[in-house]
Structure 1
Amino acid sequence: MTTVQDDEQIADVSETIAATRILPVVVLEDAASAPALAAALTAGGLRAIEVTFRTAAAADAIRAMSERPDLLVGAGTVLTPAQVDEAADAGARFVVSPGFSPAVVRHCQQRGLPVFPGAATATEIQMALDAGLTTVKFFPAEQLGGVKMIKALAAPFRSVRFIPTGGVNTGNLADYLALSAVLAVGGTWMVAPALLAAGQWDEVTRLTAAAVEASRPSA
C-alpha cells in the first residue's frame, strides 16, 4: 500500500479536472449503464467524472468507467476510510467528500489518492491546509453564499482552489468560472437522474458539449 501521497499525481489529477473546468457529479443506480455514460460524456468533451457513493452501484460503475484511458474517474460522497478502500480498489483516481473528515483525508493520503474534501468555513479550509491540501470542494455552494462567499474566503486563503458544487447550473456557471480561485465546478444537470434512467445518452452528450463550450473563456 502506498504510504505517501504523490505530489505529481495530485497535479496531474488537478490539471485534468481544470482542463474542462466541469466535473459531472453522477448518481448512478445501475452499473450496467456506466460504459454508455462514460462514452456520452467523453463524446461531449469531458475528461473527468465523479461517481458518488450514494448508491450500491458506485464501485462497479467506477470499475467499468476506469477501463477507459481517456476518462479520469473519481469517487464522490466518500464518508469513511472503508469507502476510500472500496473506491481505490475499483480504480478511482481521486476522492471527493462532502465535508472534512480527518480520517478520510488521512487514509486517502496513505493510499496515495488525491482528495478534495468539502469545506464550508474558514476553519475547515485551515484544517485542509494543515493536512497539506490546497484544493477543496465548496459544498453546497449556492446555499452557502455562492460566488460572494468564495470571493470572501479566497481573499485570506490565496493558495486555495475551490470546486463549488450544489446549485451550479447553466445560469450561474460563468459567474463561478470567472473566479480565479475556482479550479472547476461540480454539476449534475448534464447527468440528471432522469436522463440516466431513460438512457438518453445523446442528450447527455449534447448538454455536456454545451457546458464545455460555456466554460471556455470568451475571446
Structure 2
Amino acid sequence: MSSLNATLSKLRVVPVIAIDNPEDIIPLGDVLVENGLPVAEITYRTSAATEAIKLLRETQPEMLIGAGTVLNAHQAEAAQKAGATFAVSPGLNPNTVKACQSLNFEILPGINSPTNIESALELGINTLKFFPAEASGGINMVKSLLAPYGDVSLVPTGGISAKNINEYLSIPRVIACGGTWMVDKKLIDEGRWDELAKRVREAVSMTQ
C-alpha cells in the first residue's frame, strides 16, 4: 500500500473544496486541522486553486493537500509547485496521467466503468476516484466494479453525504470518500467557521 493510500485509509473522508477567495483557505485549514481532518482537496473549479494550495501549504505544512479537477499537465505542474501532495481528476485522461507520472506526482484519475479501470491499470494506476459516484450507480456499482479487479482501490466522490458515506466506507477496498457537505461553499464564502467546524467534527466522528 502506498503512503498516500495508507493516509487516506486512516482519514476516511476527503473534504472537496471549491474556493473563490484564496485567503479563505487559511481559516478553513485551521478548522480542518483543529477538528481532526488534516486533509483537503482544493479543486481547479475556480481560478483561486493554485494560490489557495500555496497558502494552505505555507500555513499547514504537515497537511495532506490534494489538487482536484486537474485536467491537464499545466494544472498538474502548477499544483505540485504550489505544494499539493497529489492530484485528482474527474476522468481518465492518459495525457494528464502521464504528465503527473513524469513529475512523480501521484494522481487519482476518475473512473466509472470496467473499461476505465482497465485503461488505468494499463497506465500502472490501481487507486482510482469513482466519479460521479451516486449518478454512476452508487453502492451497487462500486461492488460490481471491485469484484473482478482484486488489486483496485476506490475513492468514491460525487453525491456522497453524511447519510450514505458509511455505506460506501463499509465496502472493502473503498479506502476513503470525497465530499463537500462539511466544507459547503456558501459557508466558506460567508466565513461561518464555527458551523464548518461543527460539520467537520461530525464527519470525523461518523467515519472513525
What TM-score, normalized by structure 2, do the two folds share?
0.97
What is the CA distance between 1:213 and its match in structure 2?
0.9
Partner letter of residue 80 of structure 1? Answer: N
What is the match of residue 14 of structure 2? 23
Runs of 4+ off more than 3 Å: none
What is the match of residue 210 of structure 1? 202
> In the alignment, is residue 105 of structure 1 matched against residue 120 of structure 2?
no
Match of 2:36 among 20, 29, 45: 45
Return 66-75 or 114-123, whichever deviates more. Answer: 66-75
Match of 1:121 among 106, 113, 117: 113
For residues 195 and 33 of structure 2, the distance between their equivalents in structure 1, rounded to whole angstroms, comes to 13
Matching of residues 20-169 of structure 1 within 5 Å: 20-67=11-58, 68-169=60-161
For residues 179 and 102 of structure 2, the distance between their equivalents in structure 1, rounded to whole angstroms, comes to 28
Partner letter of residue 44 of structure 1? Answer: N
RMSD: 1.0
What is the CA distance between 1:70 and its match in structure 2?
2.9
Deviations 1:110-154 (A, max 9, x none): 101110000011011011111111110000000001110000011
How many residues end up aligned between the 2 structures?
Answer: 207
Partner letter of residue 186 of structure 1? Answer: G
Partner letter of residue 133 of structure 1? Answer: I
Structure 2 residue ranges without an equivalent (≥5) = none
For residues 192 and 87 of structure 1, the distance between their equivalents in structure 2, rounded to whole angstroms, comes to 22
2:41 aligned counterpart, secondary structure: strand
1:66 aligned counterpart, secondary structure: helix
Structure 1 residue ranges without an equivalent (≥5) = 1-9
For residues 23 and 53 of structure 1, the distance between their equivalents in structure 2, rounded to whole angstroms, comes to 16
What is the CA distance between 1:69 and its match in structure 2?
2.6
What is the CA distance between 1:172 and its match in structure 2?
0.5
CA contact (8 A) 1:117 1:137 kept: yes
CA contact (8 A) 1:16 1:48 kept: no
For residues 127 and 110 of structure 1, the distance between their equivalents in structure 2, rounded to whole angstroms, comes to 18
What TM-score, normalized by structure 1, do the two folds share?
0.92
